[in-house]
Amino acid sequence: MLYIILLLILTISWSVFLYELLSGRLKHGNTGCADLSNELNGLEAKKQALDLENTRLNEVFAETLALYELTMDICKTLDEEKVFAIFCDNLKKHINIKDCQYIKDSAGLIKYKDYMILPLNTEENQIAGYLAVDGILDTDKEKFDILSQQLLIGFRRALFYQKVQGLAITDSLTQVYCRRYFIERFSEELKRSRKNKLHLCFLMIDLDNFKQFNDHYGHLVGDAILRQVSKTISDMVRQIDFIGRYGGEELAIVLAETDKEQASFAAERIRQAIEASVIKAYDEELKVTVSIGVSTFPQNNDLRMQDLIEMADKALYMAKETGKNKVCFSPA
């Protein structure tokens, strides 16, 4: 009996011990699970935050890349007006604005006093125009700065091309077309006149006694004379006409859509203007005159460009031989 009682006591004690042990471990396990659950929830929250940040950064990257790719579109053209048109289209895609204008002259800025004005400087730091934009929000200014830099790149590229092209076709002294380009234009204009049955006149102009000016005053004064005479002529012809330096002191003009009577008036007007002008060259004040030979088309529809040049040259020789400072036409 005693043995049974002792066995019962041991069994109860062991049961109590096992219960306490298992209860403690279970409580510890529950606490660990709660900690793990909290840590997992924290990691998921961080992951969501990182995903959101990653999405935002991808959007910013894509947007920034799109802004810089604007350079590729702008650089497809070398015309400053087209560069601005491409810029304006892209600006409206990325930024909500009310208006965008390109102003070449500072005098035009008075109309846009309430606009945001951005000077467009060349690489020589000279202002070549202005960008006027209305309605930019503060939140869009960073985008606008990026876009405006792309505009400036394209704009400078277009201006540089124009400058190089101008150097290639322009005589550096007189600022009229060089002979090579003048001949190209002359040939094109003659073809157009022949095709459309239009009149055309060619003028060969030579400064009278130019060698004497050079010998007496020096070549620097001679250059100044030639420069001023070229400017005087340039100021007197129409936009559809063009002038070139044919060689030495000889200048040539093509008068488009001009008949003999009109050419006579234009040539005489040029001659009188040069005769009346006073040329200031360094310390000298000089008077010069010119002789002009004129050939006309279609005096003979089979005439070639070289024929017109030779005919005008002969008329110029006639003007020189008969007293200078006059206009002579090639014989009919």
> Active-site positions?
249
Phi, psi (degrees; rounded to nearest 5) at 176: -110, 175
CA 296/CA 61 separation, integer angstroms: 65
User: For residue 45, how many other CB atoms are within 10 A of its CB?
Assistant: 10
CA 228/CA 225 separation, integer angstroms: 5
CA dihedral over 67, 69, 73, 79, signed as positive or negative: positive
CA 238/CA 257 separation, integer angstroms: 11
Q: Give the 3-state secondary structure of residue 207.
A: strand
Instruction: Name the token pair of 43.
Output: 């990691």
- Sorted by sequence, the CB contacts under 8 Å of residue 99 that are 6+ apart come out as 115, 132, 133, 134, 135
CA 145/CA 151 separation, integer angstroms: 10
CA 121/CA 127 separation, integer angstroms: 4
CA 174/CA 223 separation, integer angstroms: 9
Question: Which candidate, 53, 153, 137, 127, places its Cα nearest to that of 94?
Answer: 137
Which residue intervals of 237-331 are DSSP H helices?
260-276, 305-321
Instruction: Name the token pair of 286.
Output: 């000089």
Tell me the pairing of strands 290-297 and 200-207: antiparallel
Q: Give the 3-state secondary structure of residue 181.
A: helix
DSSP calls for 82-104: HHHHHHHHHHHHHS--SEEEEES
Q: Token pair 């390109």 is at which residue?
A: 102
What is the amino acid identity at position 237? V
